[in-house]
Amino acid sequence: MSRVLYDADFVKYQAGFASEERSIVVTHKNTLEQHTFKNRTEFWGGKQLEIGGWLADINAERTSPYQKDEWLIEDVQTPKPFKTVELIVDTIIAGVNGRLGCKDYYGYIGKGKSFREDVSTVLQYKGVNRDLKPVHLNYIEQYLLKRHNCKLVTGIEADDACSIDSYAAFLEWKETKHERDRLILVAVDKDAKGTTCHLFNPDKSKLPQTIQGYGKLFKNDNGDWDGYGRVWFFFQCLSGDNCDNYKPVYAAKKFERQDKPIGVAKAVAQLAACTNDKKALQVVVNTYRQWYPEPFKYLSWKGEEMTGTWQSMLQEHWTLAHMLRWPDDKIDVVEVIDKLGIEL
């Protein structure tokens, strides 16, 4: 019987959001008039004052419409009892294990900052303001550690710990093809799609997906880019990740240009047409060279004066996107470029 490995951060947050009720209280700054709504969309509509929402309806009847900045918004979180929280966690894990037909499982939870924050210079890795965090996160974390065979990792992310175990287990399974050696990674984060593993996304998958090799990049039914394998990693090196707050093209605005450089969308379209690592990396290198045609000065997010080049920008974003395959898995981009014979 297969074993199951959880990127338990997703369990922690999924259970956290499910274990509380949320609402907002809005107060008019001058009149102190108050109203309660489920969320901001219910208050001011899908596009602030333009479409739908209570505020738009009220303004349609007023000769002097309310402005958005006339109102104070307070988030309200009403947590459920601890026993209910535990039941939610148990149900999530039992549901996934049941779908996979597995009983042997464990997981990882990330704690604190990872090494990627020190690697990042242009923007602080995961430095953007995050959504309001669930009240019970710490309690859920402790419950996962105590009752669901999860472990804390520091210095790296839970994604890395899962990638390391998945990669090692995949190599063993590839040799034996024994079901007992098959480790199924349960994760919803898009980084996992570039990991060599048997991946199961409980939100999207019916069965585990075997991910290895170059992979494929394509547009899904919603018209968004999707994929798996190494080409998915190359895609992240071009597109970045808003949630993790790294944007490969961001520092290119430092240059004053006569000709407009290639955009992310066009570069990704070129990448999608590639069929192997050499062609894909050539697209990535060509794109970075257009974005960063010469050395440039910039201030890091820490306020330090830095000198950037296309190589340093590619190395930084490569490292931010790369999931570790073993604990000291460090890749020198220049060596990879030389090895594959990329044209410069």
* Predicted pLDDT at 258: 67
Say how far apart CA 73 and CA 27 lie, in whole Å.
7
Full 3-state SS string of 81-116: CHHHHHHHHHHHHHHHHHHHCCCCEEEEEEEEEECH
Single-letter amino acid, residue 293:
P
**Other beta carbons within 10 Å of 343:** 8
- Candidates 35, 40, 67; CA nearest to 52 is 40
CB neighbours (10 Å) of residue 30?
A: 7
Other C-beta atoms lying within 10 Å of the C-beta of residue 260 = 7
Which amino acid, 227? Answer: G
Contact 195, 209 (CB under 8 A): no
Please provide residue 224's backbone torsions phi and psi, each rounded to the nearest 5 degrees: -100, 150
Beta bridge partners of 342: none
pLDDT values of the chain reduced to their tens digit, one per residue, 344 residues: 789 999 999 999 999 999 999 999 999 999 999 999 999 889 988 654 456 788 888 888 888 889 888 999 999 999 999 999 999 999 999 999 999 999 999 999 999 999 999 999 999 999 986 678 999 999 999 999 999 999 999 999 999 999 999 999 999 999 999 988 999 999 999 999 999 999 999 999 999 999 999 999 999 999 999 999 999 999 999 999 999 999 999 999 888 776 788 999 999 999 999 999 999 999 999 999 999 999 999 999 999 999 999 999 999 999 999 999 999 999 999 999 999 999 99
What is d(CA 151, CA 208) in angstroms, rounded to the nearest whole number? 23
Helix (H, G, I), strand (E, B) or coil at 159: helix
Distance CA 201, CA 187 (A): 5
- Give the pLDDT of residue 255: 81
CA atoms in the 13 A half-sphere facing the CB of 240: 23
What is the distance between the alpha carbons of residues 251 and 242, in angstroms, rounded to a whole number?
Answer: 15
Q: Which of 242, 194, 197, 192 is nearest to 214 (CA)?
A: 194
Residue with tokens 């570069």, as numbered in its chain: 267
For residue 219, report the phi and psi dihedrals to the nearest 5 degrees.
-95, 135
pLDDT of residue 60: 85
- The rounded distance, in Å, linking the Cα atoms of 300 and 313 is 12
What is the distance between the alpha carbons of residues 97 and 104, in angstroms, rounded to a whole number? 9
User: What pTM did the predictor assign?
Assistant: 0.91
**DSSP per-residue string spanning 221-270:** TTS-EEEESHHHHHHHHHH-BTTTTB-TTGGGGGS--SSPPPPHHHHHHH
